[in-house]
């Protein structure tokens, strides 16, 4: 089974604008390993340049609506698809949307070549979103995001339960928040996750490529 690593560039100075290009060029030089898929979630204004650096590997950090039209300030699935963006995070703790928006976007992208990664803050949301049958649900406890205690250390029993819920629904489970080390990857995998999301552990590292390489090697 393929293990997915999503590096979320967030809106950090180190990974936005010209520094987004630099960061991405550095990270795509990381070793490739069969059975490991790495995607990069970049900010909206960096999507087009990022697609030319890492085709097929770029996802958006959020998406607003399905179609293009009279939607001021929006980022639509339609636009992302024609721009070569492979998918999007949705409902990240730092960019929450309503349950009905999640439902509409999931139904509207179902069967399309556009992957949604629906973020859930707790088991209740994991259950609700998994029942919509997206490709992926991503469990991230908000209080651990950006910290040094990883989700796999702090919430092992919730990951196991989330993994069981996702398995029943034929949905893949990603986990994130506080992930920093190869050990976090190994533990997440043992608990039933089929991938991780990581931001500060790579993007704010003094050696981002080395940080990502050690995660890839651990899979």
- Which residues are known to be catalytic? 92, 140
Tell me if 197 contacts ligand G3P by CB under 6 A.
yes
Q: How many residues bind ligand G3P (CB under 6 A)?
A: 14
Judge whether 25 and 217 are in contact, CB under 8 Å: no
Length of the chain in terms of residues written: 219
Contact characters 55-94, ligand G3P, x per CB under 6 A? -------------------------------------x--
Judge whether 102 and 129 are in contact, CB under 8 Å: yes
The residue assigned the tokens 């050990």 is: 183
150 vs 163, which CB is nearer to ligand G3P?
150
Question: Closest Cα to residue 207, out of 30, 1, 11, 3?
Answer: 30
Tell me if 198 contacts ligand G3P by CB under 6 A.
yes
Residues 145-164 close enough to bind ligand G3P by CB under 6 A: 145-146
Q: Least separation, in Å, of the C-beta of 114 and ligand G3P?
A: 19
Q: Is the dihedral of CA 25, 30, 35, 41 positive or negative?
A: negative
Tell me if 179 contacts ligand G3P by CB under 6 A.
yes
Q: Least separation, in Å, of the C-beta of 89 and ligand G3P?
A: 7
Choose which of 79, 200, 214, 215 interacts with ligand G3P (CB under 6 A).
200
d(CA 9, CA 59) in angstroms, rounded, equals 10
Residue 204: is it exposed, middle or buried by C-beta count within 10 angstroms (0-12/13-18/19+)?
A: middle
Tell me if 140 contacts ligand G3P by CB under 6 A.
yes
Choose which of 43, 134, 178, 195 interacts with ligand G3P (CB under 6 A).
178
How many C-beta atoms surround the C-beta of residue 99 within 10 A?
Answer: 12
Cβ-closest residue to ligand G3P?
Answer: 200
170 vs 205, which CB is nearer to ligand G3P?
205
Judge whether 188 and 182 are in contact, CB under 8 Å: no
Structure tokens that stand for 148 in this block: 């040094």
Residues forming contacts to ligand G3P in the complex (CB under 6 A) are 8, 92, 140, 145-146, 176-179, 197-201
């Amino acid at each position: 089974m393929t293990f997915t690593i999503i590096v979320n560039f967030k809106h950090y100075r180190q990974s936005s604008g010209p520094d987004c290009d630099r960061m991405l060029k550095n990270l795509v030089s990381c070793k490739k390993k069969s059975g490991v898929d790495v995607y990069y979630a970049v900010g909206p204004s960096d999507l087009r340049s990022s697609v030319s650096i890492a085709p097929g590997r770029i996802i958006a950090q959020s998406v607003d609506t399905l179609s293009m039209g009279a939607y001021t300030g929006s980022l639509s699935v339609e636009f992302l698809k024609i721009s070569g963006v492979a998918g999007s995070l949705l409902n990240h703790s730092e960019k929450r949307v309503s349950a009905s928006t999640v439902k509409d976007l999931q139904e509207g992208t179902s069967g399309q070549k556009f992957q949604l990664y629906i973020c859930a803050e707790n088991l209740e949301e994991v259950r609700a979103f998994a029942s919509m049958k997206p490709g992926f649900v991503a469990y991230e406890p908000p209080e651990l995001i950006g910290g040094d205690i990883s989700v796999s250390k702090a919430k092992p029993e919730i990951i196991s339960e989330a993994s069981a819920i996702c398995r029943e629904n034929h949905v893949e489970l990603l986990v994130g928040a506080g992930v920093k080390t190869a050990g976090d990857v190994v533990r997440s995998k043992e608990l039933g996750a089929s991938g991780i999301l990581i931001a500060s552990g790579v993007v704010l590292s003094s050696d981002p490529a080395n940080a990502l390489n050690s995660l890839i090697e651990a899979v």
